[in-house]
């Protein structure tokens, strides 16, 4: 009698995930800003003993132009082991890769190959017809299917944005996730406390608010997202919103505790219109209500206006622009990327209400353009943007592009393309690891996914 056994990259608990073998490959979204060539998934060798270490060793072009690959995820992960929605026969095999501009969703097979194979394309018309959404953004594997957040409604310009559900195996668009969205209109990231039937979502803006860059009038008018939304995960109903204050514009990345017994997490806020600072907030439940508290504030850095892009000249300062955060699987270290100032910060968040800064690294930045040990002193553009942490918490990977139109506003001379690796214990750059420039064939690079999972890809049902 044949027995199905779970994918070996599924882990019941965060502790098991942290003890798993190290990744040997990283999958990287690479997009062509002029949209003259197809976007691609680049595959980087992350095995220090390999002769190809730190180089692009695999590459898969997509069939169309103008997708702008952004965030992507796995078709299945450790949540497949949850007892109330078990899918143990599913493999962590396919990358689910949306194009944020085209609204296409690409399915790529990674099994037994270095360069993934494209096996399916979900066209924007199907996403709009079946779910009522466009501009897919974040992908998470979870209970009952694949969850894909979207910034826009079916017309592609306005909202409401929300979450679509895809089938784990056929990748058919099943429909809209929300049964009752309440006051939620703007969309961005989402995550969950899976054992507590709680989903949390955040806000950026509709496609028309973001696709051509930051709109000054909207920013100063406090029109971008500044709320967290809490949902009943099983019933798919909005429960409560928490407003962080409309001065805190663009509430983006969400990182819940990996420990499934805990109900707290961290949210990053890009900018305060009062002083250009950025912040990180802890959400938690107290007195039968969801609440959020600012626990990290990072100030802007004064600068000579002549060194600033036009969008910042009137302010005479560089905002940190916290555009990504990532939480280690053991819930002890939080990494905060400051894309504007070119800084990666490491915090001890063992007490999630009292983070302690442990270290800071500089690379790139609007004014500084800090180099890297492998760059020979060359000035680097862009800054730490997407951050991904290995399951064991020992390695941190960075890429430098935010979003094409926003890159052009804040780094008008171009951002190029680079990917760096940090040793988490010594908090230093790996001098052997800096794929950049021609390695990415003229594309810009955004999100990274690690072979076998990473700190932001899986949720666990056992402590």
| Nearest Cα residue to 456 out of 101, 171, 178, 190 | 190
| Torsions phi, psi for 410 (to 5 deg) | -90, -25
* Residue 51 CA: distances (Å) to CA of 42, 47, 394, 439: 17, 9, 21, 15
pLDDT (tens digit, 9 = 90+) per residue, 59-91? 999 999 999 999 999 999 999 999 876 676 789
**pLDDT given at position 1:** 38
Strand partners of residue 173: 166
Q: How far is CA 339 from CA 145, 151, 263, 265, 344, in A?
A: 33, 22, 28, 22, 8
Would you list the domain boundaries of the chain?
14-450
Closest-CA residue to 132 (of 203, 181, 70): 181
Q: Which positions ≥6 away from 376 have C-beta within 8 Å?
A: none
For residue 404, report the phi and psi dihedrals to the nearest 5 degrees: -45, -55
Bridge partners, 436 (sequence order): 418
**CA-based end-to-end distance of the chain:** 32
Question: Is 0.85 topped by the overall pTM?
Answer: yes
Please tell me the predicted confidence (pLDDT) of residue 86. 66
Q: Are strands 237-243 and 248-256 parallel, antiparallel or unpaired?
A: unpaired
pLDDT value of position 2: 44
Whether the Cβ atoms of residue 361 and residue 429 lie closer than 8 Å to each other: yes
Q: Closest Cα partner for 301 from 360, 351, 229?
A: 360
Is residue 186 classed as helix, strand or coil in its secondary structure? coil
> In the numeric block, which tokens belong to residue 107?
């399915």
pLDDT given for residue 137 in this prediction: 97
Read out DSSP for 86-153?
A: --TT--S-EEEEEBTTT--EEEEE-TT-SS-EEEEEE-HHHHHHHHSEEEEEEEEEETTEEEEEEEEE
| pLDDT confidence of residue 4 | 73
Give CA angle at 431 (426, 437), nearest 5°.
130
d(CA 98, CA 121): 9
Distance CA(421)–CA(87), nearest Å, equals 33
Tell me the pLDDT of the chain (463 aa) as tens digits.
344 788 999 999 999 999 999 999 999 999 999 999 999 999 999 999 999 999 999 999 999 999 999 999 999 999 999 987 667 678 999 999 999 999 999 999 999 999 999 999 999 999 999 999 999 999 999 878 899 999 999 998 899 999 999 998 899 999 999 999 999 999 999 999 999 999 999 999 999 999 999 999 999 999 999 999 999 999 999 999 999 999 999 999 999 999 999 999 999 999 999 999 999 999 999 999 999 999 999 999 999 999 999 999 999 999 999 999 999 999 999 999 999 999 999 999 999 999 999 999 999 999 999 999 999 999 999 999 999 999 999 999 999 999 999 999 999 999 999 999 999 999 999 999 999 999 999 999 999 999 999 999 999 999 9
Q: Do 298 and 278 meet the contact criterion of CB atoms below 8 Å apart?
A: yes
Nearest to 234 by CA among 12, 73, 94, 82: 82
pLDDT at 88: 66
For the 14-450 domain, the top CATH level (class) is: mainly beta
CA distances from 323 to 183, 201, 254 (A): 25, 16, 11
Provide the CB-side half-sphere exposure for 370 (13 A, CA).
Answer: 19
Task: Name the token pair of 60.
Answer: 């898969």
Whether 140 and 191 have beta carbons less than 8 Å apart is answered as: yes
């Amino acid at each position: 009698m044949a027995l199905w056994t779970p994918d070996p990259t599924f882990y019941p608990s965060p502790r098991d995930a942290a003890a798993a073998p190290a990744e040997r490959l990283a999958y990287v979204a690479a997009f062509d800003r002029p949209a003259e060539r197809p976007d691609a998934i680049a595959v980087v060798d992350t095995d220090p003993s390999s002769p190809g270490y730190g180089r692009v060793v695999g590459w898969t072009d997509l069939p169309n132009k103008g997708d702008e690959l952004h965030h992507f995820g796995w078709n299945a992960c450790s949540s497949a082991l949850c007892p109330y929605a078990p899918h143990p026969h599913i493999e962590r095999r396919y990358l689910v890769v949306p194009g944020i501009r085209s609204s296409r969703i690409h399915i790529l097979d990674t099994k037994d190959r270095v360069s993934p194979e494209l096996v399916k394309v979900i066209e924007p018309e199907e996403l709009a017809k079946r779910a009522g959404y466009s501009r897919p953004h974040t992908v998470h594997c979870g209970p009952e299917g694949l969850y894909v957040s979207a910034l826009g409604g079916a017309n592609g310009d306005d909202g409401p944005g929300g979450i679509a559900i895809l089938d784990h195996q056929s990748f058919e668009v099943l429909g809209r996730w929300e049964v009752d969205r309440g006051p939620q209109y703007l969309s961005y990231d989402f995550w969950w406390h899976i054992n507590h039937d709680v989903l949390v979502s955040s806000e950026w803006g509709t496609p028309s608010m973001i696709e051509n860059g930051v709109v000054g009038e909207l920013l100063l008018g406090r029109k971008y997202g500044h709320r967290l939304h809490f949902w009943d995960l099983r019933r798919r109903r909005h429960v409560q919103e928490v407003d962080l204050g409309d001065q805190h514009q663009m509430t983006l990345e969400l990182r819940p505790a990996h420990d499934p017994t805990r109900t707290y997490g961290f949210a990053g806020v890009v900018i305060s219109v009062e002083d250009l600072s950025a912040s990180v907030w802890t959400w938690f439940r107290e007195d039968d209500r969801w609440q959020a508290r600012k626990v990290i504030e990072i100030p802007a850095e004064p600068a000579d206006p002549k060194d600033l892009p036009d969008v910042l000249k009137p302010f005479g300062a560089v905002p940190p622009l916290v555009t990504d955060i990532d939480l280690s699987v053991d819930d002890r270290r939080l990494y905060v990327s400051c894309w504007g100032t070119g800084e990666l910060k490491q915090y001890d968040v063992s007490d999630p209400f009292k983070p302690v800064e442990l270290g800071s690294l500089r690379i790139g930045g609007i004014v500084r353009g800090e180099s890297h040990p492998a760059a020979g002193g060359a000035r680097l553009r862009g800054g730490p943007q997407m951050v991904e942490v290995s399951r064991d918490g020992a390695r941190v990977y960075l890429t430098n592009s935010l979003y094409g139109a926003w890159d052009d506003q804040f780094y008008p001379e171009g951002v190029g393309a680079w990917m760096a690796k940090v040793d988490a214990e010594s908090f230093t750059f790996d001098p052997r690891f800096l794929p950049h420039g021609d390695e990415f064939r003229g594309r810009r690079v955004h999100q990274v996914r690690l072979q076998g999972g990473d700190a932001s890809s899986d949720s666990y049902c056992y402590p």
